[in-house]
Structure 1
């Protein structure tokens, strides 16, 4: 089991010179995160913005849109626009309008597959701003233009040109110009009109997602912020993450969210920290290795850890207390955030929330891994092996950590799809009853089509 040793060695080598200190409970390896904490949820949500797959429905962010935007009013990619040109519904020829921006458009972005007209969550944050309440019965096409009118009326004095779930322009004569208006020939839509959507959405399934929209994370509004929307905390207890809703928010919190949106500045401001890159560095550092570690620990053996001899952080001669590993834990947990902690006075309220979410996330990753390492060091103090019972405990801990983090990068087709297939996550447009599922499957993109059985609705 050399992989575990290699992974943990990479985590602790920077701690060689750390003196043994009387550290506060914050660095106690036996102190888990608060069960109601949301920092890890904010971390993953922010890491997943502008991506198609890993979504919740709790975040509103100002930003800008530039470069070509394609057609039929809303989608950015023409392949996606083709989805809306259904001859049976329109009763006439299919027209595609292509626009480009003449200046950066100021937009308000909603996460969470928020273009999906379904009553169980995707429209929550839009309705909250449009009507001051979550109204599931209005999550239909018949309410779409009225919702947009409400949003545009609210956003006009705030300087918003458009809203992004799909791109919803408030004014087709300001900030954009027409480059083409074409009548397309009718195309067969068999086996499902959503195939054109798959072609474009797969480009944005994962990081960096849709790069034509630039977000101002320094003024992000998160409904996972417990100081902003405490009324939502109780409704999340016992719920899987994809079932989290804004439904149930009280009037006080609703007013606070709307006030926060109204207070967004007209241009980017803040510390200047590139939070998307900061978060991605943390995910890059751990995602693949945690997945590998989880797989490695599926089997047990005698040699999980190579003994580490740190010059300062070493186990005591007797006893099972892991306090001696606290300095290693602290260095690991603060490796990506300590420099930001020194400039907190320059951070906006949203940036302080982002910092706290990164701190909480890295703390729990390091608490879990350093805890395993410390246990192994104590076992190896008197023996050259680690008992199988401890190996099973470690396997359970890694499974718990991966589930707690819930990173979308781990949602993938297993085995991987063939070159003529696409890995598709249940949701619109094929499986409207499973809009935020977690188990993808391979869809064949050319005849004979397979993979849609049981999904077409």
Structure 2
């Protein structure tokens, strides 16, 4: 389970009794959900598992960053259009795909045979497409919509766009889902008419991160346009071509834990998340949040706050990198917590020795004070000069305190199973995506998880190492339906 329902696990000793208000920010509920949004931001791995993003960040792509656009044409690209961070991602779009007609009753229809034949003929005539390579001509100012927000699915991946950003103007999760150009044009219209041109585009993720950029001529320097080899292009039979897929997904997987090279910098001091609005995000059951059932009037405050975020703050404002702090918390405690819950430590003494080893740097054995020990432990990775006033900082400290307080509490237990259950409850609450990583895949393998439009149900439940030549896997599809239908929802160029 990767997003626990918004409630703390039951614990014999109230965590609040152990926590003092050393820091200036007192965090409300859902700290685990906000922590995970921060930890997974701009990461393919966590954003694929927690694919229903509920947060908006201001983002900067630094001047000079190389970006890519695939097209079957060599003509100069005008906006709005799409850019990829990995060239292999853009190569998939160097060929036009057969697209379905507008959906009826929320369900896409297969193209008529004659239309499919006509499109296939055009594909064969335009067999060799082009890779357009650009550099950002300035620092690009973007709105980052987290999760797998470029996944054209009914699973909730587009909820934050449809119900917060676009006010459901593109259709109720159906017709609008498949008209990506309408989505791009509406966003760029909002940038000019609603936000006074304060953004250059939108940043999203599918199998790879993408930018919808409003003005290519203004914001990019064209570096080159190169013909691609035919084997890298999608064919009508499999929509992406096996070799293209073998290139695409490994390139994407290389960014599982970082977009790399500071190519995207997020403003963590000021961002927006639905987890702080007392919305019933889990009323339909399951482990992933949804917005489609929330009454529109309950979302109005979040819409106003999104406008204020864009109008009152800059993507490049000075910001503490709270993701880096969250990383250190996960890296310090992730493996240890999993070990403690695994039963490998077979006695109470062994369990508590492991726990004390983790906590001993924060304990003064001449003068024990549980509240002080929790604060020392939870503040380990926060610089002394930092005053925590932001939502991100509050969430990171909230989760750190939960870990430290739960471990400290477990030292007083006298029953082995009580300790194990307490640790397992903490793990369920934290739901760190790192615990689902395969670890140790071979040089020609990736740890396969569902990344729209590919992936199976088993890939989500049990990620496993898979060779580049068989990445798509067998069994029920995670995103539902036919992979060819899902590919038809991709934009015509990228």
> Shared topology, TM-score over 0.5?
yes
SS at match of 1:181: strand
Equivalent residues in 2 for 1:245-264 (5 A)?
245-263=290-308, 264=310
- Identify which of structures 1 and 2 has the higher relative contact order when contacts are C-alpha pairs closer than 8 Å and 6+ apart: 2
Aligned to 1:211: 262
- Report deviation, 1:181: 1.8
Matched, 1:413 2:449: no
Structure 2: give runs of 5+ residues left out of the alignment: 1-12, 20-27, 71-81, 99-121, 205-209, 233-239, 478-482, 484-494
Do the aligned residues in 2 keep the contact of 1:158 with 1:262 (CA within 8 Å)?
A: no
- Report deviation, 1:283: 2.2
SS at match of 2:157: coil
SS at match of 1:216: strand
Aligned to 1:68: 66
Aligned to 2:322: 275
After superposition, what is the alpha-carbon deviation per residue over 1:57-110, rounded to whole angstroms, capped at 9, x for unaligned? 111111111311112232111101122234663622322211111111111101
- Report deviation, 1:116: 0.8
Do the aligned residues in 2 keep the contact of 1:127 with 1:147 (CA within 8 Å)?
A: no
Do the aligned residues in 1 keep the contact of 2:31 with 2:396 (CA within 8 Å)?
A: yes
After superposition, what is the alpha-carbon deviation per residue over 1:157-187, rounded to whole angstroms, capped at 9, x for unaligned? 2411111112111111111021122232211
Aligned to 1:84: 93
After superposition, what is the alpha-carbon deviation per residue over 1:217-241, rounded to whole angstroms, capped at 9, x for unaligned? 222111111xxx32x23x3258443
After superposition, what is the alpha-carbon deviation per residue over 1:12-57, rounded to whole angstroms, capped at 9, x for unaligned? xxxxxxxxxxx9972349xxxxxx9311110111111000011231
Equivalent residues in 2 for 1:121-132 (5 A)?
121-132=156-167
Equivalent residues in 2 for 1:364-443 (5 A)?
364-375=402-413, 379=414, 390-413=415-438, 416-431=440-455, 434=457, 437-443=460-466
Do the aligned residues in 1 keep the contact of 2:95 with 2:129 (CA within 8 Å)?
A: yes
Matched, 1:58 2:54: yes
Change (3 A) 1:53 1:138: farther
Structure 2: how far apart are the matches of 1:221 and 1:130? 12
Do the aligned residues in 1 keep the contact of 2:188 with 2:214 (CA within 8 Å)?
A: yes
Aligned to 2:473: 452
The TM-score normalised by the length of structure 1 is 0.75
Structure 1: how far apart are the matches of 2:256 and 2:221? 28
SS at match of 1:53: helix
Equivalent residues in 2 for 1:1-40 (5 A)?
26-28=16-18, 37-40=29-32
Structure 1: how far apart are the matches of 2:398 and 2:199? 33
- Report deviation, 1:248: 2.5
Aligned to 2:177: 140
Change (3 A) 1:160 1:167: same
Aligned to 2:365: 310
Count of paired positions:
387
Structure 1: how far apart are the matches of 2:417 and 2:433? 25
Identify which range, 99-108 or 128-137, moves more after superposition: 128-137
After superposition, what is the alpha-carbon deviation per residue over 1:251-284, rounded to whole angstroms, capped at 9, x for unaligned? 3343222222222235347664332222222222
Do the aligned residues in 2 keep the contact of 1:421 with 1:445 (CA within 8 Å)?
A: yes
Change (3 A) 1:360 1:418: same
SS at match of 2:473: coil
Do the aligned residues in 2 keep the contact of 1:300 with 1:392 (CA within 8 Å)?
A: no
Change (3 A) 1:96 1:395: same
Aligned to 2:24: none
- Report deviation, 1:434: 4.8
Do the aligned residues in 2 keep the contact of 1:27 with 1:330 (CA within 8 Å)?
A: no
SS at match of 2:262: coil
Structure 1: give runs of 5+ residues left out of the alignment: 1-22, 30-35, 314-323, 380-389
SS at match of 2:57: strand
Change (3 A) 1:280 1:412: closer
- Report deviation, 1:130: 4.3
Aligned to 2:25: none
Structure 1: how far apart are the matches of 2:430 and 2:15? 22
- Report deviation, 1:355: 2.6
Change (3 A) 1:421 1:211: same
Structure 2: how far apart are the matches of 1:102 and 1:411? 39
